[in-house]
Every structure is written in structure tokens, then in C-alpha cells.
């Protein structure tokens, strides 16, 4: 059996990257995610798996290095925190437009602007509603434990390559900085050139003899062709929405009320459930694991069972809009949140449930 | 059994590492554990705190505002966390530099002058282990053996010669608490 280790979420991401045979990590330090780059530098995977770890000169450079690596069919990734992700958005849009798989990790902090370095979830809109320009989508995974930080690196790359689409791990300073028990994924070697040729035949690995040149670009000057490209993207997004929704439910069987929360907020809600149930309030939680695609269908079903929902987010009310769209007016959906790096406490959440939803 | 603990003090007092040692000890005993630091610029010169939860069950929130035990090592931390101890819970504080002692009567308050003990016994470097010893005397959530195993695991080999000193510090804290 694999050894149970105690480590920070950020460290788990770094170790999981090496163990998943990632070819290249390109990053630039920013709190609260710097341990990802630091751990990779400590581990020196270039001596073992041959993985490249590079501190770029800026976030913009880092995401474009990912673009280059991904264009060759390599497993490339970057990580940053909110302000740094804003800088990367142009590159992310290009990656989506060129249909390139990659992993971007956002360990969110309080904003807007340079903001604070404390935990936040205020980049939900930025991540699932665009951020960069154009009609694109990011496969978005929201871990709520250190174990999921480790597990979702492999999952993100699997999904990214399956659909030729960038994937994001959207997390925050709590999950990044906290230590928990974790079992790291088994060691997988990096793909060989032959394997890449099979898995990513579109990769620019040199023009095959007698074959067509492979071109990776998001540019298309003919709008009619660009529209066709967009139709292809949309068909792909629909497929992802049909096949890749992931969520976790707790205490929903007998629930009269429902928390909807992701990441660290979901952990806080679990404690709030313990407190509320001591008082006889039957409340459960739906925790979206994929923020896009969103668990719309399941929320619509639960709207037939519960009397009201409360989204708990470390923002001014972002995911609540998607929950309301899912519920479509059937029951009240309210939001409770803290902003700017402040963290809601479990008893605050119980009070909000009583005041906003139960009344 | 679940113990929700906050440890708070000045940056540099070993608050975060005390939490880490406690967390590793719990790991040695196969318990569920979470360690959530206050991180950021306030750590240098300012106050630092860490929330450690040790449990037999899956841990829900790693962030709390009510604690079974608060271990506070300076006045600002005492001011901040005294009110956040659950009724019936435990507050351990080091009297050094405290000019406004705790006033609550619905919790168990223990003064442990670890700073003084550490200077008298030439144990300044393991000051935090004296505190940890005091806590473990009151709440034996992990065995000293596990603490020592956890230390062995986290300390680089070149520091292993310090292990006996750490053990002495724990025993000193156990001996001093409640006196």
C-alpha cells in the first residue's frame, strides 16, 4: 500500500505532477501557491523523470511556454493565484482556440486588483464564464481536500487530452496551504515520442514524411471557417457537459434544505451541517466537483425535494447564479459569502441558513 | 473523539511547528488530522496561529472559530482567542508578557510559564515543546512515543541529536502544568 503522507495542498499538486509524468511546469511565484514551484524545484524531477521545471520571467511568458509545450502534444502545466491568472487569460483563450490540452492551477486569493493573499473564491466567474475573450470553456475541477489536489492533476490531464481542451484546477489559499493526509498517485513515466504520436497525433512533432504539415493556431482569417471552428468547439463543450459532470452529495437523503458550495466552502458547510443537525435542522450539501460542466440536472432534481438552497461562497455571489438557473425559480436560492480574503465560520453559515432560507 | 485546537503567538515562537509536530504525531497514530496556518505577512514579527484538528472521523471544516483548546503565547493572541474557547474547554497561556490575564470562568484556564522554564533550563530552542508537553498532560490525544516518532520523521537526520532535549522539554511541560 502507498504511504500516507502529511502535506500541503500545493505540495500535493507538485508531487502529483511529477508522478503523472508531466513534461513541463512553467510558473512564476505568487502567494498563496508558491509551494508548487518551490516543491518542484526541491524535488528536481529533471534528474529523475526528465520533467522541465522553469521559473519564467512573468505569468504571460509561463502560459505561452505551456502553449508551446502543449502544441507538441506534451503534458504542460502552470499555476498561479488570482492576479497572475488574470495575466494568463490571453494565453488561456489561445490555448482553448487552438484546442490544446494543458493544466492551469489557480489557488485563489482575495481581490479585485492585487487584493490580499488570503483565501477567496471570487474567480468563479472568470473561470467558468470566460475570463479570456471568445466563446470558450475551461474544464474546471474544484478540489476540497489535499487528497483531491493530488488526484485531480491526473484527472485534469485525462480530461484535457480526451477533449483537447485546457483544464483548470480552481482552488484557494485554504486548500493550498493546509496540511492533510494524502496518498500520492502511483508513479507513471512520461510519454515517449511514440506514445505522444498515438495519443496526440495533432502535435507538432516534426512533419511526417509525405504527410501534411501540422499547424497549431487559433487564427483563422475566414469568418465562415472560424464559425465552423466555433460549431466544432460548441459540439465538444456539449459532449463534455453530457459526460463529465462530477459532484458529491452528503446528508441529502432526508434534507429539507441544501447547501451548495465548492472547495473549502464545502468543508465549512460540512461542519455547519453537523451544527445545524444538532439543532434538528435537516440540511445536506451538494458539492460541485466540476464547476464547468455544472451539475445543473442534479440541482434541478433536488429542487423537487428541498424547500430552499443556500450557496456559500467566498465571494459576493457568483455560483449562486448557476444554481438559480438550474433551479429555475422552483424554490428560493440564496447566497451567503465573505469577501476579500475573509473566511466564513461554520456557525455564521448556520445563522445565514436560518435567516435567509428557513426564516 | 475530535480535538479542535488553536495555537497562537508571535512569529518565531514555533507556533506553526508545534502544530506540525502535533499533526505528525496524530498521523503516526493513524488519526485524521488537519493543519491550517494563518499565512502571510503577519507571520514576521506579528502574530501567527495554526488550527490543528485531530479526530477519529473524517474532518469537515479545517477552519473554525470555536475551539476545544486554545494555546496562546502572547497578549494579542490571548485577546483574540480567549472568547473562542468552547464553554468547558481549555485555555493554556504563557504568563510571559501578559498584562491582562484571562477572565473567563466557564473554561479551564492553565498558566504555563514555559518561557521562564526555558530560560532557566537553557531550553529556549525547545520552548514550544514545553508547551506541547503541558497540553498533552491535559489532553493526551497522542502518546509521547508518537510525538517522538513524528519528530524523528520531520527533523532532518543531522538534527536527531536534539531529540532527547525535545523529550526532556515535553516532560518538563507535563510536570509544570497545573502547578
From the list B20, B23, B60, the residue facing A267 with the nearest CB is B60
Does A331 lie in the same domain as A187?
no
CATH code assigned at A302 = 3.40.50.920
Judge if A175 and A270 occupy the same domain: no
Q: What is the CATH number of the domain that holds B23?
A: 3.40.920.10
Q: Is the pLDDT of residue B35 over 60?
A: yes
For an interface test with A, the pick among B25, B31, B62 (most A C-beta atoms closer than 10 Å) comes out as B62
Is the Cβ pair A274, B60 closer than 8 Å? yes
pLDDT band at B29 (very low <50, low <70, confident <90, very high): very high
Answer yes or no: do B62 and A347 touch at CB < 8 A: no
| Residue-level pLDDT at B41 | 63
Is A178's CB within 8 Å of B20's CB? no
Q: A6 and B65: CB-CB below 8 Å? A: no
CB spacing of B60 vs A173 below 8 angstroms: no
pLDDT reported for residue A147: 98
Size of interface A-B (CB pairs under 8 A): 71
Residue B98 confidence (pLDDT) above 70? yes
How high is the pLDDT of residue A195? 96
Could you tell me if A183 and A322 lie in one domain? no
At B179 the pLDDT is 74
pLDDT at A65: 98
- Distance (Å) of CA A83 to CA A94, A140, A177, A317, B64: 19, 18, 18, 19, 27
Question: CATH number of the domain that A113 lies in?
Answer: 3.40.50.970
Nearest to A342 by CA among A130, A109, A80: A109
Query: Looking at the complex, does the CB of residue B1 fall below 8 Å from at least one CB of chain A?
Result: no
- What's the CA gap between A19 and A329, in Å, rounded? 45
The B residues from 148 to 167 touching A (CB cutoff 8 Å) are: none
Nearest to B61 among A117, A173, A271 (CB): A271
| d(CA B66, nearest CA chain A) in Å | 9
Return the C-alpha cell found at A277.
443537525
Q: Which residues in chain A show pLDDT less than 50?
A: none
Alpha carbon dihedral A34, A36, A38, A43, in 10-degree steps, equals: 180
Give dist(CA A237, CA A214) in Å, integer.
24
Q: How many domains does chain B have?
A: 1
Is the per-residue pLDDT at B45 higher than 70? no
- Residue A334: is the preceding peptide bond cis (ω within 30°)? no
Write down which residue in A178, A194, A210 finishes a domain.
A194
> From the list A6, A32, A348, which residue is nearest B39 (CB)?
A32
A17 and A155, same domain (yes or no): yes
pLDDT, one tens digit per residue, over B110-167 is 999 999 999 998 888 899 999 999 999 999 999 999 999 989 888 889 999 999 999 9
Pairwise CA distance, residues B164 & B173, whole Å: 14
Residues on chain A touching B43 (C-beta within 8 angstroms)? none
Do A290 and A177 belong together in one domain?
A: no
Which of A116, A178, A182 is the mutation pick for testing B, counting most B CBs within 10 A? A178
Residue B178 has pLDDT above 90, yes or no: no
Supply the pLDDT for residue A319: 98
What range does the domain containing B110 cover?
2-176
* SS3 state at A187: coil
Indicate whether this complex's ipTM tops 0.90: yes
A348 C-beta neighbours (distance < 10 Å), count: 16
Q: What is the DSSP letter of A73?
A: T
Least Cα distance to A21 among A163, A154, A195, A152 occurs for A154
Q: Are strands A179-183 and B32-37 parallel, antiparallel or unpaired?
A: antiparallel
CB B10 within 8 Å of CB B46: yes
pLDDT on residue A130? 84
In this prediction, residue B43 has a pLDDT band, given cuts at 50, 70 and 90, of: low
Q: How many domains does chain A have?
A: 2
Is B64 within 8 Å of chain A by CB?
yes
The residue among B43 and B114 whose pLDDT is bigger is: B114
As a whole-number percent, the residues of chain B with pLDDT over 90 amount to 82
Residue numbers in B near A179 (CB within 8 A): 20, 23, 33-36
**One domain, residues A253 and A120:** no
A32: preceding bond cis by omega (within 30 degrees)? yes
The answer as to whether A169 is a domain residue is yes
Give yes or no: residues A262 and A130 share one domain: no
A348 and A260 in a common domain: yes
Q: Is residue A89 part of a domain?
A: yes
A232 CA: distance to closest CA in chain B (Å): 42
CA B14, B16, B17, B18 torsion-angle sign: positive
Q: Which segments within A211-276 are labelled E, that is strand?
A: 247-250, 257-260
Same domain, A170 and A273: no
pLDDT computed for residue A98 by the predictor: 98
Q: Which residues of B touch A264 (CB under 8 A)?
A: 62-63
Say how many C-beta atoms besides its own lie within 10 A of residue A285's C-beta: 25
CA angle, corner A289, sides to B39 and A285, nearest 5?
A: 90
A93-146: pLDDT as tens digits: 999 999 999 999 999 999 999 999 999 999 999 999 989 999 999 999 999 999
CB B71 within 8 A of CB B128: no
**A143 and A289 share a domain?**
no
Q: Are A225 and A214 in contact (CB under 8 A)?
A: no
Q: Could you say which of A128, A162, A194 is where a domain stops?
A: A194
Question: Max CA-CA distance within chain B?
Answer: 46
Domain span at residue A289 reads 249-358
Q: How far is CA B46 from CA A310, B4, B8, B109, in A?
A: 36, 23, 11, 24
CB contact under 8 A, A173 and B39: yes
Decide: helix, strand or coil at residue B12: coil
CA distance A30 to A53: 16
Instruction: Write down the pLDDT at residue A1.
Output: 60
For residue B42, what pLDDT band results from cuts at 50, 70 and 90?
low
Domain termination site, one of A194, A229, A258: A194
Q: Do B40 and A117 touch (CB under 8 A)?
A: yes
Q: Tell me the C-alpha distance between B95 and B103, whole Å.
A: 14
Q: Does A178 contact B65 at a Cβ distance shorter than 8 Å?
A: no
Interface of chain A against chain B, CB under 8 Å?
4, 6, 31-32, 116-118, 173-174, 177-181, 264, 267-274, 343, 345-348
C-alpha closest to that of A62 among A74, A71, A53: A53
Q: How many angstroms away from the CA of A34 is the closest CA of chain B?
A: 12
Residues A175 and A274 in one domain: no
Interatomic CA distance for residues A142 and A291, integer angstroms: 7
| List of E strands, A81-227 | 102-108, 139-141, 166-172, 179-183
Using alpha carbons only, give the angle A180, A186, A188 rounded to the nearest 5 degrees: 135
Amino acid at each position: 500500500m502507498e504511504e500516507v503522507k502529511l502535506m500541503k495542498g500545493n505540495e500535493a499538486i507538485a508531487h502529483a505532477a511529477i508522478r503523472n509524468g508531466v513534461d513541463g511546469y512553467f510558473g512564476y511565484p505568487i502567494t498563496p501557491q508558491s509551494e508548487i514551484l518551490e516543491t518542484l524545484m526541491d524535488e528536481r524531477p529533471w534528474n529523475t523523470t526528465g520533467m522541465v521545471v522553469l521559473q519564467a520571467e512573468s505569468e504571460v511568458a509561463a502560459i505561452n511556454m505551456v502553449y508551446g509545450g502543449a502544441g507538441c502534444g506534451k503534458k504542460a502545466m502552470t499555476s498561479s493565484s488570482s492576479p497572475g491568472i488574470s495575466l494568463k487569460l490571453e494565453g488561456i483563450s489561445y490555448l482553448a482556440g487552438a484546442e490544446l490540452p494543458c493544466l492551469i492551477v489557480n489557488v485563489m486569493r482575495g481581490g479585485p486588483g492585487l487584493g490580499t493573499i488570503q483565501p477567496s473564491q471570487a474567480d468563479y466567474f472568470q473561470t467558468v464564464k470566460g475570463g479570456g475573450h471568445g466563446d470558450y470553456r475551461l474544464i474546471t475541477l474544484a478540489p476540497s481536500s489535499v487528497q483531491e489536489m493530488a488526484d485531480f492533476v491526473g484527472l485534469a490531464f485525462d480530461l484535457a487530452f480526451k477533449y483537447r481542451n485546457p483544464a483548470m484546477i480552481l482552488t484557494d489559499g485554504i486548500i493550498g496551504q493546509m496540511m492533510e493526509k494524502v496518498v500520492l498517485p502511483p508513479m507513471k513515466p512520461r510519454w515517449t515520442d511514440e506514445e505522444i504520436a498515438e495519443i496526440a497525433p495533432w502535435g507538432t512533432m516534426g512533419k511526417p514524411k509525405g504527410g501534411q504539415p501540422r499547424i497549431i493556431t487559433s487564427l483563422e482569417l475566414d469568418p465562415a471557417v472560424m464559425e465552423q471552428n466555433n460549431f466544432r468547439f460548441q459540439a465538444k463543450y456539449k459532449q463534455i457537459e453530457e459526460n463529465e459532470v462530477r459532484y458529491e452529495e452528503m446528508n441529502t437523503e432526508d434534507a429539507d434544505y441544501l447547501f451548495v458550495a465548492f472547495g473549502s466552502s464545502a468543508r465549512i458547510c460540512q461542519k455547519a451541517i453537523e451544527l445545524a443537525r444538532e439543532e434538528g435542522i435537516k440540511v445536506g450539501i451538494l458539492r460541485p466537483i466540476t464547476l464547468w460542466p455544472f451539475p445543473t440536472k442534479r440541482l434541478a432534481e433536488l429542487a423537487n425535494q428541498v424547500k430552499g438552497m443556500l450557496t456559500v461562497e467566498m465571494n459576493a455571489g457568483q455560483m449562486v447564479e448557476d444554481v438559480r438557473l438550474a433551479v429555475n425559480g422552483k424554490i428560493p436560492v440564496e447566497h451567503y459569502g465573505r469577501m476579500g480574503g475573509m473566511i466564513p465560520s461554520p456557525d455564521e453559515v448556520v445563522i445565514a441558513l436560518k435567516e435567509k432560507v428557513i426564516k | 473523539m475530535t480535538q479542535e485546537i488553536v495555537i497562537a503567538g508571535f512569529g518565531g515562537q514555533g507556533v506553526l511547528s508545534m502544530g506540525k509536530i502535533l499533526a505528525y504525531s496524530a498521523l503516526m497514530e493513524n488519526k485524521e488530522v488537519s493543519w491550517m496556518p494563518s499565512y502571510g505577512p503577519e507571520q514576521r514579527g506579528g502574530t501567527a496561529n495554526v488550527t490543528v484538528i485531530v479526530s477519529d472521523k473524517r474532518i469537515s471544516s479545517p477552519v473554525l472559530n470555536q475551539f476545544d483548546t486554545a494555546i496562546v503565547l502572547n497578549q494579542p493572541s490571548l485577546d483574540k482567542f480567549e472568547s473562542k474557547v468552547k464553554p468547558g474547554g481549555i485555555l493554556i497561556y504563557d504568563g510571559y508578557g501578559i498584562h491582562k490575564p484571562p477572565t473567563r470562568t466557564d473554561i479551564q484556564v492553565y498558566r504555563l510559564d514555559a518561557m521562564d522554564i526555558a530560560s532557566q533550563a537553557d531550553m529556549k530552542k525547545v520552548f514550544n515543546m514545553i508547551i506541547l508537553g503541558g497540553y498533552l498532560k491535559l489532553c493526551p490525544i497522542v502518546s509521547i512515543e508518537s510525538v517522538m516518532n513524528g519528530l524523528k520523521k520531520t527533523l532532518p537526520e543531522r538534527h536527531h541529536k536534539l531529540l532527547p532535549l525535545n523529550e526532556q522539554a515535553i516532560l518538563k511541560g507535563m510536570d509544570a502544568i497545573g502547578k
